[in-house]
A and B are shown apart, each in its own frame.
Chain A
Amino acid sequence: MTDNHTPVPRSEQENLQLFNREFMPHIDAMYNFAYKLTLDEDAAKDLVQDTYLKAFRFINSFTEGTNAKAWLFRILKNTFINDFRKKSKEPPKIDYHEIETTYNSEDVDENITIDLRSEAIQDMIGDEVTNAINSLAVDFRTVIILCDLEGFTYEEMSKILDIPIGTVRSRLHRARTLLKQKLSDYARKMGYAGN
């Protein structure tokens, strides 16, 4: 993340060492994130390469000791929006006003009515859950990946996505409700229906 204080100047050689030490270890997570955004192997590879080149060009704005992975994820997400999303077949941005309304109107019992027993969830194999996540709109699958797979905090997600923490929470809530509905539909097909 960019901080307000002035970064300590580093030599080009030091920057190269920093790049290899702090940024390269995240390549697997970066590729996975890029793939989840683009759902295309070639596009994911290009996106990661573009992100790493940008990270090196702007390495002087990275402060050592801060969260390199979150910094890289933020660049990747911005590169995706600016350079890749325009070319992709993703539908237009989701109406988040509708989401906030849904968030406020749901209660525990409505959530429970999505009939999905935890035993059914535990029996699912990864492919089914992966497919269900991939079928969510990109903004929803992004928050699930960042939170549940990568373990970023709400604050880190807020910085990566450039949205307030309240929006992180409401988007996560909506994403999880949609995911649960998809898993429930799948469980019903597999004979796990409870009623």
Chain B
Amino acid sequence: MSSQDPNRILFKEILPLVLDGEADESQRAFFYKQIGDCPNCRRLYEQEHAIKQVIKTRVARQQPPQDLRTAIQQQIQHYFSLSQT
């Protein structure tokens, strides 16, 4: 099967839509058929799915400094009290 196969080209376009929850029903149907028919398409899906999962579950979120919440609230209270005068 040629790499210019229109199904593969379409698969490449639809894959991120499926991974990101943006695909419609017909695109999802095409996607599931294609990963059954095309081993390279399936490998690409597994690769991109694994990366997305690793980002979602293992990339650490930078924790804010403890005084940030207080600093913001004081800043807003100050602005609020000025606007009341």
Contacts and interface: CB of A to CB of B under 8 A. Distances in A.
B10 to A, nearest CB: 10
Contacts of A84: none
Contact of B64 (A45, A153, A180): A45
Contacts of B59: 126, 129-130, 133, 149
A148 B55 contact: yes
B75 A118 contact: no
Interface residues of A, number: 52
B62 A32 contact: yes
Contacts of A28: 61, 63-64
Interface centre among A36, A126, A179 (most CB of B within 10 A): A126
Contacts of B53: 122
Nearest to B83: A12
Nearest to A147: B20
Contacts, number: 132
Contacts of B3: 107-110
B55 A53 contact: no
A82 to B, nearest CB: 19
Interface string B35-71: 0001011011011111111111011111111001101
Interface of A: 12, 16, 19, 24, 27-29, 31-32, 35-36, 41, 44-45, 48-49, 52-53, 56-57, 106-112, 116-118, 121-122, 124-127, 129-130, 133, 144, 147-149, 153-154, 169, 172-173, 176, 179-180, 183
